[in-house]
Amino acid sequence: MAKKSKEEEEGSSATRNPAAELTDDLIVDILSRLPVKSVCRCKCVSRRWRGLISDPDHRKKLPQTLAGFFYSSENESSFPDEARHFVNVTGRGRPLVHPSLPFLPRFERIRMVDSCGGLLLCRCYESSNAFRYVVCNPAMEEWVALPESGYGDDKEEVELCTRLGFDPAVSSHFHVFEFVSADDCSDVAGVKIYSSETGEWNYSESEWFPDTVLFADQRSVFFNGMLHLVVLQLAIVAVDVKGETWWNMPVPEMEDVEDIFTWRPGFIGQSQGKLYYLSEYDTVPLSLSIWVLEDDSTDEWTLKHNVTTELLSEKINSKTDIYHSDYYHVATVHPDCGLIYYIAGRGGTLMAYDMDRMESCAIQNLEYRYMEFLPYIPFYSEILSNGD
């Protein structure tokens, strides 16, 4: 049989695999137009594509997904006694950001409050009882200090529930929600909302139930232009960025459970364009129920998954977590796939549960239990002004 020429072999190869003829820049441009989940699947096409997607320079052009978590720890024997950390959940490379946020101006103390859409909300203390809100973008090392909201004479003693709202797919502007308590009780009286578009705070009176109470560490998610929170009144509440629309809806009811001892506000989050609620009942049998709101125009929740706490904690390494127990604390729902991140065991092991495979895995022992995790998705655009 006659041997094919080099030109014929190259032509035959291109016919079998047209993508082989695409330049790197063209491939990256195509990938940048795909959703995150599709980009992740494209890593399996070839080593070349996997390398292009993982390249730090190309990563800035591609749609982003969950990279890890910011969290703080306290140690009275150290100075300073509070430290900031970042844990990478991608399984590859170093942390994408430095948890000390070295690009910020020097402050006496910086407390991370909330994260949303790649931005981080901090309380930056200029003295022991005076702070300013600062919103920063760790990926671009940008920041902006907000004007004073005017709420509270001594903010150090006021437990403020303050949350950040930002969706870069909808707008380049962010909002900060600072909830105000009534003078004679802890019920929510209203909210002060800062808009980066106007540069001003505006106050709106609450239209939630009169006995609605929020705490500084209240669970929340910014979804479809509204901030959603789970409150002690067995309800999920929400308010929009203008303080004009307020609504309440009951949390999903538990069925086929032998007994419910106590109820704690569960986790509220979003994944794949839908609102998720994860229950935190102390029940018999002990389990975690995962609900999804298939249609956000209704109050009907669908039970998507249920997993026992025994399965959630079975992969904890007893050598690194000597306080192994059925304790768990949800950290977040992955925005693009069926993964639940949570803290398990009394020693504080960060874990992930795959709802599709019904498997759990340990990521890292953090040695801290009482801490709040702020999920982080890199945002590679310049929208902040590095100043006031």
Give the per-residue pLDDT at 146: 96
Indicate whether 40 pLDDT > 90.
Answer: no
Mean pLDDT (whole number) for 66-86: 78
Give the per-residue pLDDT at 371: 65
Give the per-residue pLDDT at 184: 65
Indicate whether 199 pLDDT > 80.
Answer: yes
319-342 per-position pLDDT tens digit: 444 444 556 788 999 999 999 998
Give the per-residue pLDDT at 17: 64
Residue 313 dihedral angles phi and psi, to the nearest 5°: -110, 5
Beta strands 119-127 and 130-137 are: antiparallel
pLDDT band at 299 (very low <50, low <70, confident <90, very high): confident
45-61 per-position pLDDT tens digit: 888 877 777 676 776 77
- Residue that wins the pLDDT comparison between 378 and 232: 378
The pTM (predicted TM-score) of the whole model is 0.83
Contacts of 36 (CB under 8 A, 6+ apart): 63, 64, 65, 335, 336
Of 204-208, 241-245, 284-288, minimum mean pLDDT range? 284-288
Q: Are 80 and 87 in contact (CB under 8 A)?
A: no
